[in-house]
Amino acid sequence: MHVEAVGSGPRLVLVHGSVMNGALTFAAQRGLVARYRLAIVDRPGYPPNDPVERIDFDEQAAEIAELLEPGDHLVGHSYGGVISLLAAARRPDLGSLTVCEPPAFGVARGHPAVEDFLERFPHAPADPRGYLEFFLPLVGSATKLPDPLPPEIEAGARAARVERPPWEAEIPFAELSAARYPKLVVSGAHHAAFEAVCDVVEPRIGAERAVLPGAGHSIPRAPGFNERLEEFLSGSGAVLDEERP
């Protein structure tokens, strides 16, 4: 598992979602390096790692939990948000947890938007371009795909196709609720299915909530995301402190 370390200060561990690797997902967070030490994860199966035949959120949650250090601030986006929820339940010594639209649709079954979302996935094309043309509009992205696809995007689409469905995850609400570190759940006001999941996760883990429209499902790119994250981290004690190493 590739991890890029950059910056200094309290450590933010950033876990990306599907299609885009860590560098692409969290490009807008590089402006935080003056105050925070970023650990930008590229999950196994995503560039620059080698391709894999299967990606399982439980296995990758175990890897992220092992990577974490006491006091770390864990930020997970999309599929990486599901992984982060699972990893955080194993690490009560975290500094904080932030999840951005985790597709843990299993916690909101019965909601019409969730059921509609899940009914679409069996019809997703298998080829990388076809999959992206199906997936990106579904999650609120207006990205125009270049032709040919850049190698890292094609590799990311292939990785997304072999991910275990995130709605199969059993979210450990009891452990997360009992954990004393602060939590933040962020959504983008672009899709009722993601809002439904966040509406469930927020109270069940005892989290703050932020809604940041303007970037669809690409929450880390949303206007005001860095400011809201820093506000949250400041309240959780993550601001640089002379007594803190």
Dump pLDDT digits (tens) for 58-95.
999 999 999 999 999 999 999 999 999 999 999 999 99
pTM (2 d.p.)? 0.94
Residue-range domain boundaries for the chain: 2-235
Residue 210: beta bridge partners? 186
Mean residue pLDDT of the chain comes to: 94
Average pLDDT in the 125-135 region?
94
Question: Does 245 have pLDDT greater than 60?
Answer: no
Q: How confident is the model at residue 216 (pLDDT cuts 50, 70, 90)?
A: very high
Burial 152-162 (b: 16+ CB within 10 A, else e): bbbbbbbbbbe
**CATH code for the part of the protein at 2-235:** 3.40.50.1820
Strand (E) positions, the chain? Answer: 2-7, 11-15, 37-42, 73-77, 96-100, 183-187, 208-211
Q: How confident is the model at residue 139 (pLDDT cuts 50, 70, 90)?
A: confident
Asked whether the predicted pLDDT for residue 194 surpasses 90, the reply is yes
pLDDT band with cut points at 50, 70 and 90 for residue 100:
very high
Token code pair at residue 78: 């999309």
pLDDT of residue 138: 86
Q: pLDDT above 90 covers what percent of the chain?
A: 88
β-bridge pairing 208-211 and 2-7: unpaired
Q: How many residues does the chain have?
A: 245
The stretch 12-37 carries a mean pLDDT of 97
Residue 141 has pLDDT above 90, yes or no: no
The pLDDT-based confidence of 242 (bands split at 50, 70, 90) is very low
The token pair at 103 is: 């597709």
The set of residues, in sequence order, having a beta carbon less than 8 Å from that of 209 and lying 6+ positions away, is 184, 185, 186, 187, 198, 202
Cα-Cα-Cα-Cα torsion 168, 54, 122, 213, nearest 10 degrees, comes to: 70
